[in-house]
Structure 1
Amino acid sequence: MKWPKHDLAQFIIQLCKVKGLKHVVISPGSRNAPLTIGFTNQNFFRCYSVVDERSAGFFALGIAQQTSEPVAVVCTSGSALLNYYPAVAEAYYSGLPLVVISADRPQHLINIGDGQTIIQPHAFGKHVLFEANLKPPTKTLFNSTQFARDKAQKLINKALDTASRMMGPVHINVPFEEPLYDTVPEPLSLNISFKKDIKTAYFYLSPSFQKTWQNAKRKLVLVGVNPPNSLDSAVIDQLANDPSVIVLTETTSNLHHSNFFPFIDQLIAPLNEEGYEALQPDLLLTFGGLIISKKIKAFLRAYNPKHHWHVDPYKANDTYFCLNKHFKINPNDFFRQLFKNTPSNKSSYFDFWNRVKLQRKKAHNEYLKSMPFSDFKAFELISHAIPQNFVVQSGNSSAIRYLQLFEFHPSISLYCNRGTSGIDGSTSTAVGASIVSKEPTLLITGDLSFFYDINGLWNKYIPSNFRIIVINNSGGGIFRILPGNDNSELFETYFETKHNRNAKALATDFGFAYSSANSEQTLALTLAEFFKSSSSPKLLEIFTPSSQNDKILLSYFDQIA
């Protein structure tokens, strides 16, 4: 078995193996040859070659998203590293364990005009949880070579532990001298002691918090991005059956109960001041990742609860400017203690808003019956057509917002890059997720997002059960919904970004079976075939009328009021 001759590469590879880091996404280069040789010669690792580093970063995020385990990305020196930044930022805000391993030039070659060199240490600033800037393990006036090797091993080990325990991105920067391709039959032995797993500290919930919970007659539980099956059924039932509690969820919450409120914008958009005051909670309890709905953010910022508690083992965002308690614990453990000896409070909070929910749902269904073909109608048909047990990956902007207006079978899990909410890596993330998912994957994305991240399809790992639906409304349709639309040439050019592109040639080039639809009838027929088994992945492009989509959506909220 071949090992790279470079000590630092040997240490990185051995420690990744010891820590159980299995997935390694490698982009081509020469300076990272010691790492590439080491990882690809070990059967333990599952290695992927992805040329575009920006795409590779999101590809790795998709794997981390599905496995909840650290995933490494490996690149050469120079600007290659900077292309990881969008994925690093997404990992930081989404809480995903991304391990960036960048090859670098020796220090004496930096900033002297040598090729492929930039200042790589601290490249990601505060968007990484830990940074290991390694140095060649050489003897110095004060320390031996072995001392330098031990120090490097400790830094690598800490980086890997941080990614795993704190669930976020880390950066390991490693300089290599030439020659880069030399190998040895055996690596140097590790000289590091591994601490036993740190047991979770005992959590004690003060009776005063239980009393506050019990006394609150209006409790609003707001759930952000959440992996499926993360909350125990007993906890779900207790929240759902408490008359003083309403639970607001989003599609990315992956949390289901008939008593929950999955359509936040549908509930809130028509409210007047009296309605806002009736909804204002005494206690707001949040858990999960970031929230999509701008309407719930605006409401809670204007109508602050008396208490805002956030439950998360790692971090809490003061999204509504009223956070006064962060419980650093898993939500299941928190609720088990919260519910001890705290009977339900008498309240009409749930009953009142449940009646409103049912009224909104009735108005929603009535509007759909008369709605013309549009983005909205396309999403309605798609939501009914997705088979059970699918993993749905959504693009950002309008795609994820339309998905908030429809209900999905509990067996369908839904994901979106909501850490930074950018359009830049949706396709790459979906592809990465699809190769480790046990279930088939569907990406639903807008046209700009799809064309922006087309390199997400530039790899050989896409499974035949992968599906893409592109909503092509000839530009950034969300800008017609947002304030500022004036239908001028300037608006169409610089905001909406009008175009005449379609995905047919790209689909063919990347080996996808292509189909298209431009009406309710053709879409219904196409969807009937789209999810059937095939020997290649499929792409469905839906063309919708760009000038009508915003009017249809905005009139929807008027209709349900």
Structure 2
Amino acid sequence: MSQYPKQSFSEIPLAQTVVKFCDIKRINHIVISPGSRNAPLNLGFTNNDNFITYSIVDERSAAFFALGLAQQLKHPVAVVCTSGSALLNYYPAVSEAFYSDIPLVVISADRLPHRIDVGDGQTIRQPEVFEPHLEAAAYLTPDVSHASKTLLENPSQKLVAQDASESDLMHKQVEIQRSNEQKLDSVLNKAILNSGPVHINVPLEEPLYGTTSKELIPQFISDPEPNQTEINLDSYVTQWNSAAKKIILVGVLPPNSINDKILETWALDPSVIVLTEKTSNLKHSRFLDAIDSLIAPLEQNGESAFEEIQPDLLITLGGMVVSKKVKNFLRKFPPKKHWHINSKKAYNTYYVLSNHVKLDPQEFFDYLFSKPNTPIESSFNSAVHSIYSRNLLKGLAYLKTIPFSDLLAFKIIFNSIPKKLHLQLANSSTIRYAQLFDLPKNVSVYCNRGTSGIDGSTSTAVGAAYKTELQTLLITGDLSFFYDCNALWNTYWKSNFRVIIINNQGGGIFRILPGKKDTPLYDKYYETVHNRNAKDLSKSFGLGYSSVYSGWRLKLKLKSFFKPSDRPQILEIFTPRKINDKVLLNYFKAMQ
């Protein structure tokens, strides 16, 4: 229970203004990491019933937790920290938010400018620390009406003249307040409109804990208004109708981004092949959702095999694509034209980007298919599907022969996943193995693919799970899990949360890459071989734990793993470290 009366506010105008603007812009989820310099902000957020506040000590974990919340809310979530090195721990999540288009509002308390680089503790140069990876920033000006005596006594300050009168301070404060309100209004609007990270730096002077009953009312407020762009789509209709070999390649998309009518139109067009990934959240029996199972077997068959599937027109949707093989293929055998359909940005991933269509994909295809559209005569769909189906049949035969390994563990897991689930995947091996197996239609899939780092997978999953009613499963590798183990250090775990750890005693994916394996140098600095397990860690945080070492025990355990329980559950699967790479590589060889 708060020690402050309900209608009290920070006596520092700047702190009260920041809180007020978050309230006005409906940024109501606030993840706070404890500190002293951010006390006025914490007071304002926790003392207002319009905010839902969270307390997470580790700033790196806190930022990824907030990213998971924002991922599900599709609206900005704020993180609040004290001054100094605390702020720098947000950077991994800031960069992920930037490349994944997730609205994250970083609010950092700071010392006043003249207190930086003079030898005071927990002071660093905070403005511009995230600058290349922000949609916008507001580096606010400190108040001169608060702690005025302390301010005037400091010979280094340049905010006001040393002999400033009370009237001078009052006029300067009005000017500062107007400027800060305009900056806050602009930066928060950009977080909402651009769906990306912003940084608000808030310099605060002691005393920090004083309150007032006088509420500050901002004067400079505007609604976020998107720019309206007129796009002539008629030429796209003509090009679509004339292309005999079209590939639609879909990266990261939220569930329900494109309706079934559009998906069915794609599927029935003989000139179209749709390549999806698990993070595309698009499912249809005619889509190719194991891209590497199409491309990897062709790598041994020469250029003619790739020329057969080389498209005339490539249309890409969504965010980052996992498959390196499809990137290499399209860079070496480029389409004649490449359109990227995205209302915000387009990457020239395949080096031949010809058009960035700044529309939502649903809007684009609604228009495209509203025009007369006679499917062109083409055997592209049937030819590519024939190759793909043949590869999958060979792969299925191979899977029946393999020993217990990462590949077999993923096959067993995916065969046991409930029909309706919120699935979070860690990066590296996990997301790549996941591409090879089917999922039920109503499983929604998320992964931090913006920067593809392993550093915040668990924290993101915990935050996302807190805002979904569905049961959540996180599948992660051992290094990803242990790296982000502070994700366990909060009180926001739901009892229906499940974690599966594939523990192959190191960075197993490095065994697939070139290098002299099984040497002291390789084991220590590349694969990072270890003998850790999650049993004691799970126990210390009050989570249920079990482990398996074989396929039949895994099948048995999964029969009860998703059933209701009174606390979250962790299942650790131990696989043989030295065979996983051979089993996976032989899987693709078996398809040739």
| Structure-2-length-normalised TM-score | 0.93
Larger Rg: 2
Are 1:517 and 2:548 matched, yes or no? yes
Are 1:234 and 2:265 matched, yes or no? no
Give the SS at the match of 2:331: helix
CA displacement, residues 20-79 of structure 1 (integer Å, 9 cap, x when unaligned): 111110001000000100000111111000000000110001011111110000000000
Aligned twin of 2:112? 106
1:84-483 pair list within 5 angstroms:
84-138=90-144, 144-195=172-223, 197-198=224-225, 201=228, 203-271=230-298, 272=301, 273-339=303-369, 340-483=371-514
8 Å CA contact 1:248–1:264 kept in 2: the answer is yes
8 Å CA contact 1:205–1:337 kept in 2: the answer is no
8 Å CA contact 1:479–1:485 kept in 2: the answer is no
CA displacement, residues 268-326 of structure 1 (integer Å, 9 cap, x when unaligned): 00113111101110010001000000000000110111100001111101111111110
CA displacement, residues 150-187 of structure 1 (integer Å, 9 cap, x when unaligned): 11011111111111100100000000000001111232
* One-letter amino acid matched to 1:252: T
> Which segment drifts farther, 202-211 or 265-274?
202-211
Q: In the aligned structure 2, how far is the partner of 1:203 from the partner of 1:215?
A: 24
8 Å CA contact 1:211–1:342 kept in 2: the answer is no
Match of 1:527 among 545, 558, 566: 558
* One-letter amino acid matched to 1:20: R
8 Å CA contact 2:494–2:568 kept in 1: the answer is yes
* One-letter amino acid matched to 1:323: L
Are 1:560 and 2:591 matched, yes or no? yes
Q: In the aligned structure 1, how far is the partner of 2:221 from the partner of 2:114?
A: 32
8 Å CA contact 2:312–2:336 kept in 1: the answer is yes
Give the SS at the match of 1:528: helix
* One-letter amino acid matched to 1:204: I
Q: In the aligned structure 2, how far is the partner of 1:280 from the partner of 1:490?
A: 41
* One-letter amino acid matched to 2:186: K
Are 1:9 and 2:36 matched, yes or no? no
> Identity across aligned pairs (percent)?
52
Q: In the aligned structure 1, how far is the partner of 2:374 from the partner of 2:48?
A: 56
* One-letter amino acid matched to 2:293: Q
Q: Give the direction of change, closer, same or farther, for the CA distance of 1:178–1:199 in structure 2 (3 Å limit).
A: closer
CA displacement, residues 81-108 of structure 1 (integer Å, 9 cap, x when unaligned): 0000000000000000000000000111
* One-letter amino acid matched to 1:64: A
* Distance apart, 1:201 and its partner CA: 2.1
Aligned twin of 1:18? 24
Give the SS at the match of 2:404: coil
CA displacement, residues 209-265 of structure 1 (integer Å, 9 cap, x when unaligned): 211111110000000000001101111111111110000000000001111110100
8 Å CA contact 1:265–1:295 kept in 2: the answer is yes
Give the SS at the match of 2:48: coil
* One-letter amino acid matched to 2:234: P
* One-letter amino acid matched to 2:45: F
* Distance apart, 1:362 and its partner CA: 1.1
Q: 4+ runs of 1 displaced by more than 6 Å?
A: none
Q: In the aligned structure 2, how far is the partner of 1:524 from the partner of 1:133?
A: 55
Total equivalences in the alignment:
560
Q: In the aligned structure 2, how far is the partner of 1:311 from the partner of 1:206?
A: 12
Q: In the aligned structure 1, how far is the partner of 2:22 from the partner of 2:211?
A: 19
Aligned twin of 1:51? 57
* One-letter amino acid matched to 1:182: G
* Distance apart, 1:202 and its partner CA: 5.3
Q: In the aligned structure 2, how far is the partner of 1:518 from the partner of 1:187?
A: 61
Q: In the aligned structure 2, how far is the partner of 1:319 from the partner of 1:413?
A: 26
* One-letter amino acid matched to 1:5: E
* One-letter amino acid matched to 1:368: L
8 Å CA contact 2:182–2:221 kept in 1: the answer is no
* Distance apart, 1:10 and its partner CA: 1.0
Q: In the aligned structure 2, how far is the partner of 1:8 from the partner of 1:344?
A: 61
8 Å CA contact 1:515–1:539 kept in 2: the answer is yes
8 Å CA contact 1:265–1:296 kept in 2: the answer is yes
8 Å CA contact 2:66–2:460 kept in 1: the answer is yes
Q: In the aligned structure 1, how far is the partner of 2:388 from the partner of 2:431?
A: 21
* Distance apart, 1:203 and its partner CA: 3.9
Q: In the aligned structure 1, how far is the partner of 2:32 from the partner of 2:475?
A: 27
Q: In the aligned structure 1, how far is the partner of 2:404 from the partner of 2:221?
A: 64
Give the SS at the match of 1:310: strand
- Gap runs ≥5 in structure 2: 1-6, 146-159, 162-167
> Which segment drifts farther, 246-255 or 178-187?
178-187
Are 1:489 and 2:520 matched, yes or no? yes
Give me the CA root mean square deviation: 1.2
8 Å CA contact 1:219–1:246 kept in 2: the answer is yes
Match of 1:544 among 561, 575, 579: 575
Q: In the aligned structure 2, how far is the partner of 1:84 from the partner of 1:204?
A: 38
Q: In the aligned structure 1, how far is the partner of 2:461 from the partner of 2:122?
A: 31
* Distance apart, 1:149 and its partner CA: 0.5
Q: In the aligned structure 2, how far is the partner of 1:311 from the partner of 1:70?
A: 24
Q: In the aligned structure 2, how far is the partner of 1:388 from the partner of 1:509?
A: 32
Q: Give the direction of change, closer, same or farther, for the CA distance of 1:136–1:185 in structure 2 (3 Å limit).
A: same
* Distance apart, 1:138 and its partner CA: 3.4
Q: In the aligned structure 2, how far is the partner of 1:236 from the partner of 1:222?
A: 13
8 Å CA contact 1:463–1:537 kept in 2: the answer is yes
Give the SS at the match of 2:353: coil
Q: In the aligned structure 1, how far is the partner of 2:522 from the partner of 2:549?
A: 25
CA displacement, residues 302-351 of structure 1 (integer Å, 9 cap, x when unaligned): 01111000011111011111111101110011111222223211110001
* Distance apart, 1:518 and its partner CA: 0.2
Aligned twin of 1:33? 39
Give the SS at the match of 1:354: helix
> Which segment drifts farther, 70-79 or 367-376?
367-376
* One-letter amino acid matched to 1:325: N
* Distance apart, 1:200 and its partner CA: 5.8
